[in-house]
Structure 1
Amino acid sequence: MGAPRPRRTARQQAGGGGWQLLVEPAPLKLRYNKPSARIQMCKGAVSMKILMISNHLGVQSGVQRYVQNLLLNLDLTRYQVDLFVGLCPPDQASCAPALEAAGVHIIAVPDNKKARIRALYQHLKTHKDYDIIHYHTASKIGAPVCGMMRVLCPHAKIIVHSHIVYPPMTLTWRAAHLVYQLFADYFLGCGVAAGRFVFGDHIDRRPNFSVACNAVDQTRFYPNAAARTAIRAQYGITGTERLAGFVGRLNHQKNPLYLIRVFAAMVQQDPRWKLLLVGGGEQEQPMRELAAQLGVADRVLFAGVQNNVPDYMNAFDLFLLPSNFEGSPVTLVEAQGCGVPCLASTNVPGDGSVTELVHFLPLSAPFEEWAKTADSIAPGGPHADYWPTLAAAGYELKTAAHRMEQVYDKVAGEGAR
């Protein structure tokens, strides 16, 4: 026999550090070496370039409201932010004008997952100079996208940010945990439960995980007697009537048909109740039909999508949130900021239950129990101020934005300056 042929190895390396593709007789192997982030010096100050990736520009999205709140309160003289995001759905108002006025560069792409991923791939092929990629994710498909970002931007530090708890846990989710942990540098969750669900059961034990509270603007969401009076007058709510409310997308996640059944039980117990729904979605027509079947159609008011959400929150005597699944809903914090009692399903994680205003019941509980609880926790009248408690827990927006700046500085390897 002749001497064996020498093994040939071809090495292709992306940049000074990053993916190395080793071509051998065995199957391809990928090896990743994490480089340090690059911080650009601009006129004596730190200028960190960040790509933030979110779902779409519509104001009904809780994730996008969080992103908007964060970006409007970051120090944009220190952080240059590109927001890669889906176009605003046609039935929603867009947050783009406010963000662009603040100095955020928006890269808007078609609002569907496949189109966004293709567009992100094309963008990162030619824009590799990001110091940080902040990826707001709530899906299994986000895991391979995280790997794609690592290959295309080997120098960037990747922060993945979970906003959802969406049981049941499956083997596919378990696999996604491993992929996220392989490629990401830092992990954020709107709560511990959201972090564990998307990134792994023990992710909160790691030093590169932290909770990013879904903070809200104290200057907008606060007890406002004048706004309460105005909205109630606009919808003909008399002084003796009680008003339950909901703010959000009318879709499966929010469980709006269950909400109508809860409300019907509330009316049976106390006919003074009315229900005001702020938002739109694919289940609006089924909700109208169910309300008619249950004999409460004349007491259910559909307000559609509104920009002055704090005014509506103040009008409520009770905020209802019987969701099928959630991360840590922004609306729950907004309601507490306005001093409104809240009744939510136990499918809503308790992270955002900061004050004594929030009460939980399982979806398996009888509707009559929901009605009795609603009656007992919603006395009506002027709302009290719970902001000292909310602020102490980290839900004040400017404090939360400063904490995110500290995360960016830490992940990028530079202390705050």
Structure 2
Amino acid sequence: MIRVCQVLHGIVGGGSEQVVLNYCSRMHDIHFDLLYQYEPNPQILERFREAGINCIQIPDKVHHPLKHLWTMFRIFRNGNYDVVHSHLDWFMNSYVCFLAMLAGVKKRIAHHHQAYTVSQPSRSGCNVTPDLFRGGIAYSIKTTLCSVMRIPCKLFATHWLACGEAAAINGWGANTVKTGKVTILPNAIDPERFKFCESVRREIRVKYGITDDDFVIGHVGRFFPEKNHKFIVELFSEYSQNHSNCKLLLVGNGPLQTEIQNQVKQKGIEGRVIFAGLQKDVVGFYSAMDVLLLPSTREAFPMTLIEAQYTGLPCIVSSAVPKETAITDCVFQLPIENAKPWCEMLSSLNLAVDRRNPQIKSERFDIWKCYGMLESLYQVV
């Protein structure tokens, strides 16, 4: 049996983890181990175990760097792995692949899931992807740094993957992508799981005190700066001044949650904002919503957007969201310079959407049509 070791930062409900779970849970003839560093969320960890994936926690690289490296190397050396598949970002896949190479693992996959820089920021500030640096000179420094950091990844990894075109260009370089050396592996989902369900919609709304007449504006994502929760609260506060029957439903957790909760209190909208927390399964929450907001400051490939579209949910997203992820006609892209256009879009949103039959224009994110690509990569010697 082929043995594969997946490497993640943690098991806390992030997109990379969901990608691993979606793909690996369908490959029953392959043994999977998964290395992670940080304290896991028990609910998410249980989902991996239910899928038959053996999860191993190792010392984290921040507090125990030497022990982290030695433990990882020892596991690679003793695990008889055919493949090591690393999902770390900001080019940290390089050290994982290096340790795997030293341990004698022949197939080493570096998988890029983020897009830290795609195009140079415009003077107007539109379509900017703010992250580690800002401004013209800083942008040049960042671009150079990315180019340098790609070198060890390319040296130590035998296969180069990315979740989308933006992540591929950022992780491996535009010229490398053009030559076809990078495999784009979509962040695919199971469409059957994300079908709209009226009974689940009603159940969740009742649980959180949402009436049938309430217009529910939703967001699914970790409370991290790039998800832009401050912007969501700002625009909802403005929108709710003229719309009494609306609620904001926030699904997820993270380090900025307390800060966002304080912002909600300062705005005086506590009674209209629901913090649902991290959920083991978010499927039903899409059914409970009426529109999804995704005002991310940077986004390589938002699985949330794909999932929402399969439930027939209209989505308003930022200009940082890759256009390739719009697989229905119900995705509307806006800049995040101010909240007013978003409020106007919400006010004018009057779509006759058949939630039970979303008009999906592409099947490229259907896991049943995608997982064979990765399975073949694992199997080919």
Normalised to the residue count of structure 1, the TM-score between the two structures is 0.79
Shift of 1:371: 0.7
C-alpha change, 1:117 and 1:192, in structure 2 (3 Å) is farther
Q: How does 1:1-400 map to 2 (within 5 A)?
A: 47-58=1-12, 60-74=13-27, 76-77=28-29, 79-89=30-40, 92-112=41-61, 114=65, 116-127=68-79, 129-153=80-104, 155-167=105-117, 169-364=142-337, 366-377=338-349, 379=351, 383-386=355-358, 388-389=360-361, 392-400=362-370
The structure where helix makes up a greater share of residues is 2
8 Å Cα contact 1:319/1:335 also seen in 2: yes
Shift of 1:213: 1.1
What is the rounded CA distance, in whole Å, between the counterparts of 2:95 and 2:148 in structure 1?
10
- Point out where structure 2 has 5 or more consecutive residues left out of the alignment: 118-132, 134-141
What is the rounded CA distance, in whole Å, between the counterparts of 2:44 and 2:268 in structure 1?
38
Shift of 1:316: 0.5
What is the rounded CA distance, in whole Å, between the counterparts of 1:247 and 1:193 in structure 2?
21
Secondary structure (helix, strand or coil) at the match of 1:56 reads coil
Shift of 1:101: 4.0
What is the rounded CA distance, in whole Å, between the counterparts of 2:268 and 2:71 in structure 1?
48
- Give the residue type in structure 1 aligned to 2:71: A
What is the rounded CA distance, in whole Å, between the counterparts of 1:228 and 1:105 in structure 2?
34
- The list of structure 1 runs, each at least 4 consecutive aligned residues, that deviate by more than 4 angstroms after superposition, is 378-382
- Give the residue type in structure 1 aligned to 2:86: Y
Aligned residues: 355
What is the rounded CA distance, in whole Å, between the counterparts of 1:48 and 1:175 in structure 2?
34
- Give the residue type in structure 2 aligned to 1:136: H
Residue of structure 2 in register with 1:29 after alignment: none
C-alpha change, 1:379 and 1:249, in structure 2 (3 Å) is same
Shift of 1:87: 4.7
Deviations for 1:282-316, whole angstroms, at most 9, x for unmatched residues? Answer: 21222122122223222111111222311111111
Secondary structure (helix, strand or coil) at the match of 1:363 reads coil
Residue of structure 2 in register with 1:3 after alignment: none
C-alpha change, 1:116 and 1:333, in structure 2 (3 Å) is farther
C-alpha change, 1:358 and 1:388, in structure 2 (3 Å) is closer
- Give the residue type in structure 2 aligned to 1:356: D
8 Å Cα contact 1:140/1:172 also seen in 2: no
- Give the residue type in structure 1 aligned to 2:22: N
Normalised to the residue count of structure 2, the TM-score between the two structures is 0.86
Shift of 1:384: 4.1
Shift of 1:320: 1.0
What is the rounded CA distance, in whole Å, between the counterparts of 1:117 and 1:217 in structure 2?
35
Shift of 1:124: 2.5
Shift of 1:209: 1.8
Secondary structure (helix, strand or coil) at the match of 2:34 reads strand
C-alpha change, 1:234 and 1:358, in structure 2 (3 Å) is same
C-alpha change, 1:73 and 1:271, in structure 2 (3 Å) is same
- Give the residue type in structure 1 aligned to 2:52: G
8 Å Cα contact 2:220/2:304 also seen in 1: yes
- Point out where structure 1 has 5 or more consecutive residues left out of the alignment: 1-46
Larger Cα Rg: Structure 1 or Structure 2?
1
- Give the residue type in structure 2 aligned to 1:376: S
C-alpha change, 1:308 and 1:48, in structure 2 (3 Å) is closer
What is the rounded CA distance, in whole Å, between the counterparts of 2:285 and 2:339 in structure 1?
25
Tell which deviates more after alignment, 141-150 or 214-223.
141-150
RMSD of equivalent CA atoms: 2.2
- Give the residue type in structure 2 aligned to 1:301: I
Residue of structure 2 in register with 1:402 after alignment: 372
Shift of 1:111: 4.8
8 Å Cα contact 2:195/2:356 also seen in 1: no
Shift of 1:125: 3.9
Shift of 1:332: 1.0
The structure where strand makes up a greater share of residues is 1
Shift of 1:107: 2.0
C-alpha change, 1:222 and 1:403, in structure 2 (3 Å) is same
Deviations for 1:201-252, whole angstroms, at most 9, x for unmatched residues? Answer: 2232233322111111223211111111221222222232210011121121
Secondary structure (helix, strand or coil) at the match of 2:306 reads helix
C-alpha change, 1:171 and 1:126, in structure 2 (3 Å) is same
C-alpha change, 1:388 and 1:252, in structure 2 (3 Å) is closer
Residue of structure 2 in register with 1:33 after alignment: none
Tell which deviates more after alignment, 290-299 or 254-263.
290-299
8 Å Cα contact 1:276/1:303 also seen in 2: yes
8 Å Cα contact 2:194/2:307 also seen in 1: yes
